[in-house]
Structure 1
Amino acid sequence: MADMQSYDIPLHDIKPIVRIEEYSLYYFLGISLFAVVLVLLLSYLLFSWLKKRNRYNKRREHFESLKTLDLKRTKESAYDITFYGATFKNDSLRHKESYDNLVGRLERYKYKKEVEGYDDETLGYIELYKGMIDV
């Protein structure tokens, strides 16, 4: 054991360890967070678009029902016009006045057992009211 020498040999060609700043983990986390937010945003927009597209539109359905009424069935169509037309009566003051006038004209076709067909003036009021509706 007497042979023990110190091995502290100076090394001239090896440089000391240098600390290198590494940001790749932060870049990865930032890009991942951005991708997750982007996917969530696109999912939300797709979901809201599908929900809006398939939503029941009461005004559109009632307008279609008014357009396709069979006016030859006088009594039933008088009730249907009163029911479906009420959806649009609060759109404006002009709609309300027209609706009230139309309902007053339809009263004579509702409460009888047998009714005759619509007169030309009432048919004109029905068409005028249907023409006023915006859906």
Structure 2
Amino acid sequence: MKVQELPIRDIKPLLPIPDISIYLFVGIVAVASLVIGVGVFFFWKWWSTHRRIDPRVRWLRELDAIDFDRPKKAAYLMTKYGRLLAEDKRRQEILEQLIPKLERYKYKKEVPPLDEEVKRFMKLFIEMSHDAL
């Protein structure tokens, strides 16, 4: 057969091929982001419970947050955290002078406002504790 005698066959158009690669890519990125996010969340949760914070810093923060307008609570907090923070001789001496002055603000239903002298001693003790840490 000659080339010219070959029957002409119809050229068919290209068939459409469904392309879902963009959906696969978006799905994989979404799942990877979710896995990384959950991993970071659990790592942060573990880290926040296992990190070592010096308890003295926490006690000092409590003393910094003392409200001098509430004398009963201030006296109790100062006594509690003061005993824990009094590590050197100077702070122990100040605390020994301060605790008897705080006794009049404890164990009663109604207490008078804090004296300026007591406030001064409390602030001095807190300042000295800051300097020691």
- Give the TM-score, by structure 1 length: 0.58
Question: Between the two proteins, what is the percent identity of the paired residues?
Answer: 34
Specify the alignment match of 1:37 in structure 2: none
Whether 1:57 and 2:58 are equivalent positions in the alignment is: no
Deviations 1:55-93 (A, max 9, x none): 03210000000001111111011001100111111x211
Q: Which entry has the higher C-alpha Rg, 1 or 2? A: 1
Q: In the TM superposition, what whole-angstrom CA distance separates every residue of 1:24-75 from its partner, at most 9, and x where no partner exists?
A: xxxxxxxxxxxxxxxxxxxxxxxxxx8xx91032100000000011111110
Q: How far apart, in 2, do the equivalents of 1:131 and 1:104 lie?
A: 20
Q: TM-score normalized by structure 2?
A: 0.59
- 2:91 corresponds to which of 92, 95, 101: 95
Q: What is the CA distance between 1:111 and its match in structure 2?
A: 1.5
Could you tell me which of 72, 75, 80 is aligned with 1:75?
A: 72
Helix, strand or coil at the partner of 2:84: coil
Between the two proteins, the alignment pairs up a number of residues equal to: 84
Of Structure 1 and Structure 2, which has the larger fraction of its residues in helix?
2
Cα RMSD over matched residues? 1.8
User: Where do 4+ consecutive residues of structure 1 move more than 4 Å?
Assistant: none
Deviation at 1:102, TM superposition (A): 1.0
Aligned with residue 115 of structure 1, among 111, 118, 130: 111
Q: C-alpha distance in 1, partners of 2:52/2:85?
A: 19
Structure 1: segments with no counterpart, 5+ residues: 1-49
Which whole-Å CA distance do the structure 1 matches of 2:66 and 2:116 have between them? 16
The letter for the 2-side match of 1:118 is: L
* 1:116 maps to amino acid: P
